[in-house]
């Protein structure tokens, strides 16, 4: 059998003799068969949300040239993929090109031994499945290359690449762009006290809380062990400072639960405005602002170019559940 559950094969031809010869082969494969007599009738089924497992199309279908049908089906069936086998007694350069491009999986003659046709269809299904698996692996590999494996947000290299793209937009559209870099205070202490696994959990919780405060087009990346970078398109320096204050309060004012303990974290924030300059320069300014903030003490927010700030007043934070002991550092 071709599959554990019955596949659906689409068969399209206006030749009664051809349909009569091929239909029993498809039935022997255990397939449910949908038959269409014209290209116009076949197109909606090719583009339907529930696509067939395989399509077997006669190149001499009336009402539409086969090249046009293939193009239309490909355009309308975005995101859906299934093997297409053409029935043709002539091997043209057009079909050779479509085979090379992967638009069609195979080309079979109208008169073919039923056993051989079944083998060709089985091979088309296997090859298509393997191609799809390879495509998914490539997509996953590309995504992994862009994101931090632990938290799922962008890594440093991807954030820098995105900042170059966003800077081009700022220059073209004369809009604003700010970056916020924040670092969890004394994270090494928690790593020593709680262990790597618990601290990994803490970092994931920080990312989850941060994501809930961002707009859909804001960007978040992990650029160090416990450092995170925000890129905020269309955000002024004043708005960036307000967001940093909200991050300081909404993320870190509420205790974290990890490893059966309740932990109180804090962070320092560095902020810089793009002004259309090189992302390398802006990121350097953001890092310098963060260094000034860390020197000033926990929970400090520092803007690039401003005079060093004094220590921020410690945040009042939510009390833990009665009976729980809160650990802070």
pLDDT digits (tens, 9 = 90+) for 281-293: 999 999 999 999 9
Confidence at residue 241, expressed as pLDDT on a 0 to 100 scale: 95
Confidence at residue 304, expressed as pLDDT on a 0 to 100 scale: 93
Confidence at residue 203, expressed as pLDDT on a 0 to 100 scale: 96
Confidence at residue 174, expressed as pLDDT on a 0 to 100 scale: 87
Following CA atoms 286, 289, 293, 299 in sequence, which dihedral angle do they give, to the nearest 10 degrees? -30
Confidence at residue 239, expressed as pLDDT on a 0 to 100 scale: 95
Alpha-carbon span 181 to 221, nearest angstrom: 10
Asked if residue 223 lies in contact with residue 159, where contact means CB atoms within 8 angstroms, the answer is yes
Following CA atoms 214, 215, 218, 224 in sequence, which dihedral angle do they give, to the nearest 10 degrees? 10
SS3 string, the chain, reads CCCCCCCEEEEECCCHHHHHHHHHHHHHCCCEEEEECCHHHHHHHHCCCCCCCEEEEECCCCCCCHHHHHHHHHHHCCCCCCCEEEECCCCCHHHHHHHHHCCCCEEECCCCCHHHHHHHHHHHHHHHHHHHHHHHHHHHHHHHHHECCCCCCECHHHHHHHHHHHHHHHHHHCCCEEEEEEEECCHHHHHHHHCHHHHHHHHHHHHHHHHCCCCCCCEEEECCCCEEEEEEECCCHHHHHHHHHHHHHHCCCCCEEECCEEEECCEEEEEEECCCCCHHHHHHHHHHHHHHHHHHCCCCEEECCCCCCCCCCCCCCCCCCCCCCEEEC
pLDDT tens, position by position, 209-250: 999 999 999 999 999 999 999 999 999 999 999 999 999 999
Q: What is the mean pLDDT of residues 322-326?
A: 54
- Predicted confidence band of residue 80 (pLDDT cuts 50, 70, 90): low
pLDDT reading at 1 higher than 60: no
Alpha-carbon span 135 to 202, nearest angstrom: 34
pLDDT tens, position by position, 83-104: 999 999 998 999 898 888 888 8
Confidence at residue 146, expressed as pLDDT on a 0 to 100 scale: 80
In angstroms, the first-to-last Cα distance of the chain is 64
Confidence at residue 3, expressed as pLDDT on a 0 to 100 scale: 43
- Predicted confidence band of residue 199 (pLDDT cuts 50, 70, 90): very high
pLDDT tens, position by position, 115-166: 999 999 889 888 888 888 777 767 665 656 788 989 999 999 899 989 999 9
pLDDT reading at 320 higher than 50: no
- The fraction of the chain above a pLDDT of 90, given in percent, is 51
pLDDT reading at 112 higher than 80: yes
Confidence at residue 220, expressed as pLDDT on a 0 to 100 scale: 96
Confidence at residue 139, expressed as pLDDT on a 0 to 100 scale: 62
Alpha-carbon span 295 to 308, nearest angstrom: 9
Predicted TM-score of the model (pTM): 0.58
- The fraction of the chain above a pLDDT of 70, given in percent, is 87
- Predicted confidence band of residue 319 (pLDDT cuts 50, 70, 90): very low
Confidence at residue 100, expressed as pLDDT on a 0 to 100 scale: 86
């Amino acid at each position: 059998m071709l599959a554990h559950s019955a596949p659906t094969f689409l068969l399209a031809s206006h030749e009664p003799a051809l349909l009569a010869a091929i239909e029993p082969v498809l039935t022997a494969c255990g397939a449910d068969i949908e038959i269409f007599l014209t290209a116009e009738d076949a197109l909606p089924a090719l583009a339907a949300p529930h696509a067939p497992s395989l399509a077997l199309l006669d190149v001499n279908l009336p009402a539409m040239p086969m090249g046009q049908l293939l193009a239309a089906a490909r355009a309308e069936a975005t995101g859906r993929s299934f093997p297409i086998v053409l029935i043709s007694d002539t091997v043209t350069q057009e079909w050779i090109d479509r085979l090379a491009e992967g638009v069609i999986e195979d080309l079979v003659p109208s008169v073919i031994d039923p056993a051989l046709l079944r083998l060709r269809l089985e091979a088309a299904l296997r090859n298509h499945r393997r191609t799809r698996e390879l495509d998914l692996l490539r997509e996953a590999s590309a995504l992994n290359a862009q994101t931090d494996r632990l938290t799922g947000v962008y890594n440093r290299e991807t954030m820098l690449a995105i900042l170059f793209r966003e800077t081009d937009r700022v220059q073209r559209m004369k809009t604003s762009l700010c970056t916020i870099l924040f670092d969890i205070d004394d994270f090494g202490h928690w790593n020593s006290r709680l262990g790597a696994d618990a601290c990994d959990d803490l970092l994931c919780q920080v990312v989850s809380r941060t994501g809930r405060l961002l707009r859909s087009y804001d960007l978040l990346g992990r650029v160090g062990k416990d450092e995170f970078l925000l890129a905020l398109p269309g955000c002024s320096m004043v708005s960036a400072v307000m967001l940093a204050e909200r991050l300081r309060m909404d993320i870190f004012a509420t205790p974290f639960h990890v490893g059966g303990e309740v932990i109180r974290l804090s962070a320092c924030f560095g902020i810089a405005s793009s002004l259309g300059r090189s992302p390398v320069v802006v990121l350097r300014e953001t890092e310098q602002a963060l260094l000034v903030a860390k020197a000033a003490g926990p929970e400090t927010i520092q803007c690039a170019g401003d005079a060093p700030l004094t220590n921020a007043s410690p945040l009042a934070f939510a009390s833990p559940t009665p009976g729980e002991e809160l650990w802070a550092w």
